[in-house]
Structure 1
Amino acid sequence: MDEATRLRRILDDPRRLFGDDDLPPNTNLPWWLAPLPTWLENFGLNVAWLVVAINLVGTAFGFWYYGIHPFSDPIVQLQFASEPLVMWPFVPDSPVATLFIALSLALWKLGRSNEYINALAFFGCWKLGLWTPFVLAAFADSFLAVTWFPMYLFLFFSHLAMVVQAFLIQRYSAFPIRAVAVAVAWYGFNDLVDYFVPLVGDPHHTALPVADSAAAYGTTVLQVAAAGAVFLTLFATFLALATRVKKLELGGLA
């Protein structure tokens, strides 16, 4: 069905937004691999182009948040200004994740789904969608001392929405091993340079409003942030591979 026909049918009956006409079939995965209700999965996939647009806006906002200010002088500010140019690809983690999910959904809608992008999008939205609220909560006093409260809430809940998006991908992705390997390599390397071996300069994790070496929870701020990131990378790996195994068991993959 072409998009014009789909739109006309939805306008005729808005309930179709929650239906599965011309969508990938429900995967019947266990709740811990597909936690969204089917109607919400269907809605997200039916309004995929809107989700793409929102994520592209989020990507632009994210690059602004990290310091790309195209209408200011200087253009490069904040964390980008303090990072070596060669490490820039590893700095704006959340904007890159929202770009991945925008590409994943757009390519699927265009009939050109790319499993590498799908895996990167799943890992990114899962990991950054949870890591950011984790550090916002863990270091709430420090964040609230320098962050406007509405912005704090926006950052917290907009990142949680990224996790919701992540679970749309299982409807149209097989999570092949090679694609999962690429995602593990990308986000594993991110963890390495963010917290353990920065290669150039200091660790490249998202700037926190408290010193890396400050004491926190019986260890340091850096180690708390690192523990959250590494755990989420490992858990994303488990979820992606478990999704593939369950789909194979259920006969959902050719």
Structure 2
Amino acid sequence: MGISFFWSKGFLLNRSFLWLLFICNLLGTIYGYIWYDSQLQWTAVNKPLWTLPFVPDSPTASLFFTMSLLYLLFPITKPTRIANMARVIVEALAVVTSVKYGIWAVSMIIAGAAQGDVLNWTHYMLIVSHLAMAVEALLYVRFMKTGTAAFAVALGWLLINDTVDYTLNVNPWLPDELEDDRAAVELFTYGLSLASFAAAWLAGRFRKS
């Protein structure tokens, strides 16, 4: 059994493994929303309430991917047009946002450390879990029904999110060491949205059945 077995269709679509992945992502999503509790409370007090959905970026991405796993665990044999449309949008959001925020979080942690932020076990846990978000999304896109148009919708969501984040200052809180680099972080964030769309599109374009 070669290492390629671990990204084969037989392994990735094994129901036991899908359930394990679903549980891990569900727990990670819940943990992520708890992680954002302080910022959500601060935003509710200091910013318009409609900005709240734009605050917890990573757990929302994880939520979309968790929902996508349900489509694989419980496939609908005869979906309606609306149900099928909902699926392709959710899957597109799952892939594009997971790639974007998985890489973004790791980049911010490393950038903060490079400028003097002291890392602890939580940082390393976040690095591993966020890298896993990006990797699993690209591994599973080939089993999804989503496509270019839906990826474009997901990109639109990311760009709106980026604009709200950096116009109204509801972006994920940065390490103190990066606060004087907000302009560079903003530019990187927009660029990463475009790169994540491209990565999702390429992964979907060359998927194998």
Within the alignment, does 1:66 sit opposite 2:36 as a pair?
yes
Counterpart selection for 1:116 from 89, 92, 96 = 89
> Aligned pair 1:80/2:40, yes or no?
yes
RMSD over aligned Cα atoms: 2.5
Which structure carries more relative contact order (alpha carbon 8 Å, separation 6+)?
2
Task: Report the AA paired with residue 129 of structure 1.
Answer: G
User: Within 2, Cα distance between the matches of 1:91 and 1:55?
Assistant: 19
Residue among 161, 166, 173 paired with 1:190:
161
Match of 1:165 among 112, 117, 136: 136
Partner Cα separation in structure 2 for residue 176 and residue 205 of structure 1: 28
Larger helix fraction of residues: 2
Quick check: 1:53 aligned with 2:23?
yes
Q: How far is 1:123 from its partner?
A: 0.8
Q: Which one-letter code corresponds to 2:12 in the other structure?
A: G
Q: SS of the residue aligned with 1:167?
A: helix
Please report how far the alpha carbon of residue 119 of structure 1 lies from its aligned counterpart in structure 2 after TM superposition: 0.6
Does 2:95 correspond to 1:129?
A: no
Tell me which residue corresponds to 1:225.
185
**Number of matched pairs:** 192
Q: Which runs of 5+ in 1 are unaligned?
A: 1-14, 19-35, 68-77, 215-220
Question: Contact between 2:68 and 2:94, CA under 8 Å: does it hold in 1?
Answer: yes
Distance in 1, matches of 2:205 and 2:7, equals: 24
Q: What residue in structure 1 maps to residue 200 of structure 2?
A: 240
Partners of 2:33 and 2:116 lie apart in 1 by: 22
Cα pair distance change 1:206/1:242, threshold 3 Å: same
Relative to structure 1, is the Cα distance of residues 211 and 138 closer, same or farther in structure 2, using a 3 angstrom cutoff? closer
- Note the alpha carbon deviations across 1:122-170, whole angstroms, 9 max, x for none: 01110111000100010115542xx6x1111111111111111112222
The alignment partner of 1:139 has SS state of helix
CA distance 1:161–1:246, change in 2 (3 Å): closer
Structure-2 residue corresponding to 1:44: 12
Q: Which amino acid aligns with 1:158?
A: S
Query: What code does the residue aligned with 2:66 have?
Result: A
Structure 1 residues 56 and 227, CA gap change in structure 2 (3 angstroms): same
TM-score normalised by the chain length of structure 2: 0.81
Deviations 1:54-105 (A, max 9, x none): 11101111111111xxxxxxxxxx2112113221100000100111110001
For residue 150 of structure 1, what is the aligned residue in structure 2? 121
Give the partner amino acid of 1:179.
A
- In the TM superposition, residue 109 of structure 1 has moved relative to its aligned partner by 1.8
Task: State TM-score, norm by structure 1.
Answer: 0.68
Contact conserved, 1:129 with 1:161, CA < 8 A, in 2?
yes
Contact 2:55 2:171 in 1 (8 A): yes
Task: Indicate how the Cα distance of structure 1 residues 142 and 103 shifts in structure 2: closer, same or farther if over 3 A, else same.
Answer: farther
User: Is the Cα contact below 8 Å between 1:176 and 1:244 reproduced in 2?
Assistant: yes
The structure with the larger Rg is: 1
* Distance in 2 between residues matched to 1:172 and 1:39, nearest whole Å: 15
CA distance in 1, matches of 2:134, 2:128: 10
Distance change (3 Å), C-alpha of 1:165 and 1:243 = closer
